[in-house]
């Protein structure tokens, strides 16, 4: 029996629209002691089954039940919503799973090959054991898609630091960041499902969402790309950095690769993406690039540097635009009242 199968090859009670991999006993027999090669991505599970919805349970699911390999990291996101069919509130758990290695067997090889050849596709996994939804109904399959590689993404790494302990850095360690370009219309998603302009939120976002550290100031410089897109370059200076796993991994990423392409992060359990606006005015997934600012300009008390001067100029220009708009609106109101008096 083929492990990758479509609806016409399957019994009616197990008919899936998505291709399916069977993690049955015969397909879980190890081919040899070596690990499966060419697996540089994580797995995203749409809904975890009952009894496997916490970190310990999910680890058991992938290590022992499905026997995909050895789990190295799991990020679980809880979501509550109103289930119309059941007429009550329901809570589900999704997960992103990274592996130290994958076992070399028929099922894992076919799962790898399908996900590698179909970048955005989802595939169904049928387990050897019976799985259940949270409400106790049988779960016929797990829905799996390809996630980000842990070597390319910091998504889900712990930012916990209850006492805001500071990361110890030497005088020679870098302490400032550089973002070459942020489009003026770039947006960030919110846990509530709306979006907000990203540039005004940068300082707070780095401090409270990413938990990188205490920002002392952000310098802005106007930028215009060759395609005409306008935005800002940002120079971000820290009073101190926080000591947590995310900050350490973030700094290590920049030390080893020179940059980090950032597309979004979890905020209160919800993955919030960055968005750019295309030529048609539609929102499309966006990103920014973090780099090390190797030559930060120090802050001075009585004078301002070129970046601070530029930032002040941007602020005053925006304030002037607001005031001009307000004056125009008042002039329209005044004209309207004049016309009313004339007609009376």
* Per-residue pLDDT tens over the stretch 267-314: 887 888 899 888 788 888 889 999 999 888 776 555 566 666 666 676
Q: Do 104 and 36 meet the contact criterion of CB atoms below 8 Å apart?
A: yes
Q: Are 191 and 76 members of one domain?
A: no
Question: What pLDDT sits at residue 154?
Answer: 75
Q: Are 132 and 45 members of one domain?
A: yes
**330 in a domain, yes or no?**
no
Q: Are 108 and 215 members of one domain?
A: no
Cα–Cα distance, 283 to 275 (Å, whole number):
6
More confident residue, 198 or 337: 198
Count of domains for the chain = 2
Cα–Cα distance, 53 to 75 (Å, whole number):
11
The last residue of a domain, from among 276, 292, 308: 292
Q: Are 113 and 232 members of one domain?
A: no
Question: What pLDDT sits at residue 344?
Answer: 62
Can you tell me the mean pLDDT for 176-188? 93
pLDDT tier, 160 (very low <50, low <70, confident <90, very high otherwise): confident
Q: Are 141 and 190 members of one domain?
A: no
Question: What pLDDT sits at residue 325?
Answer: 80
Question: What pLDDT sits at residue 110?
Answer: 92
**322 in a domain, yes or no?**
no
Q: Are 140 and 271 members of one domain?
A: no
Mean pLDDT of the chain: 82
Q: What is the pLDDT of residues 216-237, one digit of tens each?
A: 999 999 988 888 888 999 999 9
Q: Has residue 208 got a pLDDT over 80?
A: yes
Query: CA torsion sign, 320 to 322 to 327 to 328?
Result: positive
Q: Do 219 and 202 meet the contact criterion of CB atoms below 8 Å apart?
A: no
Q: Are 271 and 181 members of one domain?
A: yes
pLDDT tier, 74 (very low <50, low <70, confident <90, very high otherwise): confident
**1 in a domain, yes or no?**
no
**227 in a domain, yes or no?**
yes
Question: What pLDDT sits at residue 119?
Answer: 61
Q: Which of 153, 188, 189, 174 is nearest to 291 (CA)?
A: 174
Q: Are 66 and 113 members of one domain?
A: yes
pLDDT over 70, % of the chain: 84
Q: Are 208 and 273 members of one domain?
A: yes
Can you tell me the mean pLDDT for 238-258? 90
pLDDT over 90, % of the chain: 37
Q: Do 80 and 91 meet the contact criterion of CB atoms below 8 Å apart?
A: yes
Of the listed ranges 125-139, 223-237, 309-323, the one predicted with least confidence: 309-323
Beta bridge partners of 44: 96, 145
Alpha-carbon distances, residue 167 vs 118, 245, 321 (angstroms): 41, 11, 41
Q: Are strands 138-139 and 131-132 parallel, antiparallel or unpaired?
A: antiparallel
Q: Are strands 288-292 and 176-183 parallel, antiparallel or unpaired?
A: antiparallel
More confident residue, 79 or 59: 59
Question: What pLDDT sits at residue 166?
Answer: 92
**344 in a domain, yes or no?**
no
Question: What pLDDT sits at residue 301?
Answer: 57
Alpha helices for the chain (secondary structure H) = 55-60, 106-117, 202-204, 245-257, 306-343
Domain that holds residue 70: 7-146
**46 in a domain, yes or no?**
yes
pLDDT tier, 12 (very low <50, low <70, confident <90, very high otherwise): very low
Question: What pLDDT sits at residue 6?
Answer: 31
Of the listed ranges 103-112, 220-229, 254-263, 299-308, the one predicted with least confidence: 299-308
Q: Which of 109, 99, 149, 138 is nearest to 21 (CA)?
A: 109
Question: What pLDDT sits at residue 259?
Answer: 87
**Cβ atoms within 10 Å of 194's Cβ, excluding its own:** 8
Question: What pLDDT sits at residue 292?
Answer: 92
Q: Are 202 and 275 members of one domain?
A: yes
Number of H helices, E strands in the chain: 5, 18
**63 in a domain, yes or no?**
yes
Q: Are 141 and 180 members of one domain?
A: no
**Full-model pTM:** 0.49
Question: What pLDDT sits at residue 116?
Answer: 84
Question: What pLDDT sits at residue 266?
Answer: 84
Cα–Cα distance, 272 to 49 (Å, whole number):
24
Question: What pLDDT sits at residue 299?
Answer: 65
Q: Are 94 and 209 members of one domain?
A: no
Can you tell me the mean pLDDT for 165-183? 92
The helix (run of H) or strand (run of E) holding residue 180 is strand 176-183
Q: How far does the chain reach from its first CA to its final CA, in angstroms?
A: 89
**169 in a domain, yes or no?**
no
Kindly write down the DSSP assignment for every residue of 47-58, as one continuous string: -PPTT--SHHHH
């Amino acid at each position: 029996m083929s492990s990758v199968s479509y609806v016409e090859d399957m019994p009616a009670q197990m008919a899936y629209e998505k291709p399916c991999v069977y993690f049955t006993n015969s397909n879980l027999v190890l081919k040899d002691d070596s690990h499966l090669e060419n697996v540089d991505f994580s797995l995203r599970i749409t809904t975890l089954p009952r009894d496997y919805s916490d970190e310990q349970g999910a680890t058991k699911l992938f290590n022992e039940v499905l026997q995909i390999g050895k789990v190295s990291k799991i990020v679980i996101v809880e979501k509550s919503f109103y289930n119309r069919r059941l007429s009550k509130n329901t809570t589900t758990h999704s997960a992103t799973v990274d592996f130290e290695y994958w076992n070399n067997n028929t099922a894992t090889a076919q799962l790898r090959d399908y996900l590698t050849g179909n970048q955005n596709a989802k595939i169904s996994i049928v387990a050897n054991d019976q799985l259940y939804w949270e409400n106790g109904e049988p779960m016929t399959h797990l829905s799996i898609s390809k996630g980000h590689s842990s070597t390319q993404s910091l998504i889900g790494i712990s930012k916990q630091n209850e006492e805001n302990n500071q990361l110890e850095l030497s005088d020679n360690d870098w302490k400032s960041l550089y973002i070459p370009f942020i489009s003026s219309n770039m947006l960030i998603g919110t846990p509530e499902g709306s979006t907000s302009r990203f540039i005004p939120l940068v300082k707070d976002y780095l401090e409270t969402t990413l938990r990188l550290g205490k920002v002392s100031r952000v310098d802005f410089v106007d930028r215009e790309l060759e395609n005409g897109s306008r935005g800002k370059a940002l120079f971000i200076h820290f009073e101190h950095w926080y000591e947590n796993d995310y900050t350490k991994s973030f700094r290590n990423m920049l030390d080893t690769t020179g940059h980090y392409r950032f597309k979004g992060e979890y905020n209160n359990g919800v993955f919030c993406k960055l968005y750019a606006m295309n030529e048609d005015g539609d929102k499309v997934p966006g990103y920014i690039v973090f780099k090390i600012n190797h030559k930060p300009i120090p802050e001075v008390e009585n004078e301002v540097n070129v970046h601070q001067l530029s930032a002040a100029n941007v602020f005053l220009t925006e304030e002037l635009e607001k005031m001009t708009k307000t004056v125009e609106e008042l002039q329209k109101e005044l004209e309207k009242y004049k016309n009313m008096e004339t007609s009376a």
